């Protein structure tokens, strides 16, 4: 019940913030609504059991990217440029096309049987399923009332399985290992002889180099050119 309520609150905040970004003409207010929308998306990530991703969204997007955009607004805004409006005809055309696109997407999402689709995907070793609290309590009662060693061992094993599933909401260690190329979430408890699941070591290295190139490129693009030729005899 709480989860549903939180979902609706943050879904409405996300969609409302996005619509407000489109509807507002002032760039600074657009940045504010973008913060509202992206922050609510981070909350949705937490609701989806993606704790590390939600934190990364807050740190990188809300703390980094939006601040960068606000600096861009401050460096480029001078009086008349802070409000550059599109003509009403363009706004009507754009929102009409947007509405059509929205209806196409909603119709497409509605017409697909997602349970059937996910049933056709080969299951991972431990899919992040919903943890059943009552099952956990039931298993603990079983362990308490167990008399023979066999019963006790079986109950402990079942409890460990439930705890393994509870790790579903804690993704930091699994994500870090997957960036090293290890996939314990897919490779553990699998039949022997099966090939190992693919990790993300190569994409991780590529994106590291990409970030370095981007930083150098951004610094090169944004350098002050007018000062470069001002020195005597210095030709850059």
Partner 1 sequence: MGEVGLEAYLFVGAVLFVCGVVCMATKRNGIGVLMGVELVLNGANVNFVAFSRYTPLGLDGQATALFVVVLAAAEAAVALAIALNYYNNHLTIDVDRGNELQG
> Does the protein bind partner 1 through residue 8 (CB under 8 A)?
yes
Minimum gap (Å) between residue 51 Cβ and partner 1: 10
Q: Which of residues 23-82 bind partner 1 (CB under 8 A)?
A: 27, 30-31, 34, 37-38, 41, 44-45, 48-50, 52-53, 56-57, 60-61, 64-65, 68-69, 71-73, 75-77, 81
Question: Which residue's CB is nearer to partner 1, number 154 or number 182?
Answer: 182
Q: How far is CA 153 from the centre of its chain?
A: 39
Residues 128-157 that bind partner 1 (CB under 8 A): 128
**Which residue stretch of 7-15, 131-139, 140-148, 149-157 sits at the interface with partner 1 (rule: CB under 8 A)?**
7-15
Distance in angstroms (rounded) separating the CA atoms of residues 80 and 87: 16
Of 83-91, 137-145, 146-154, 227-235: span binding partner 1 (CB under 8 A)? 83-91
Residues 95-134 that bind partner 1 (CB under 8 A): 95, 97-98, 101-102, 105-106, 109-110, 114, 117-118, 121-124, 126-128
Interacting positions 183-202 with partner 1 (CB under 8 A): 183, 185-186, 200
Q: Residue 41: which of 29, 53, 31, 32 has the closest Cα?
A: 53
Contact between 89 and partner 1 per CB under 8 A: no
Report the helix count and the strand count for the chain, using DSSP H and E: 11, 0
Task: Quote the least distance from Cβ 125 to partner 1, whole Å.
Answer: 8
Q: Which of 132, 133, 131, 154 is nearest to 142 (CA)?
A: 154
Alpha-carbon torsion angle 227, 212, 69, 102, nearest 10: 140
Q: Shortest distance, CB of residue 132 to partner 1, whole angstroms?
A: 15
236 SS3 class: coil
CA-CA-CA-CA torsion for 103, 107, 110, 111, nearest 10 degrees? -170
Please identify which residue in 94, 135, 189, 201 interacts with partner 1, judged by CB under 8 A. Answer: 94
In angstroms, the CA 102 to CA 39 distance is 22
Q: How many residues bind partner 1 (CB under 8 A)?
A: 86
DSSP 193-220: TPPPPP-SHHHHHHHHHHHHHHHHHHHH
Is 215 a binder of partner 1 (CB under 8 A)?
Answer: yes
Rg (alpha carbons) of the chain, rounded to whole number: 26
């Amino acid at each position: 019940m709480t989860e549903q309520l939180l979902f609706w609150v943050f879904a409405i905040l996300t969609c409302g913030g996005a619509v407000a970004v489109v509807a507002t003409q002032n760039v600074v207010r657009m940045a504010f609504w973008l913060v509202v929308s992206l922050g609510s998306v981070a909350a949705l990530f937490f609701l989806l059991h993606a704790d590390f991703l939600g934190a990364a969204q807050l740190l990188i997007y809300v703390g980094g990217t939006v601040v960068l955009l606000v600096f861009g607004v401050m460096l480029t805004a001078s009086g008349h440029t802070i409000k550059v409006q599109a003509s009403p005809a363009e706004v009507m055309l754009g929102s009409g096309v947007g509405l059509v696109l929205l209806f196409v997407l909603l119709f497409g999402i509605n017409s697909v049987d997602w349970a059937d689709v996910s049933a056709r995907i080969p299951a991972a070793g431990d899919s992040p399923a919903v943890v059943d609290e009552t099952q956990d309590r039931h298993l603990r009662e079983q362990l308490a009332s167990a008399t023979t060693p066999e019963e006790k061992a079986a109950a402990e094993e079942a409890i460990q399985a439930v705890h393994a599933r509870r790790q579903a909401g804690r993704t930091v260690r699994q994500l870090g290992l997957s960036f090293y190329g290890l996939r314990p979430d897919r490779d553990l408890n699998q039949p022997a002889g099966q090939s190992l699941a693919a990790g993300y070591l190569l994409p991780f290295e590529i994106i590291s180099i990409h970030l370095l190139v981007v930083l150098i490129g951004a610094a090169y693009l944004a350098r002050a050119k007018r000062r470069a030729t001002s020195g005597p005899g210095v030709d850059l």
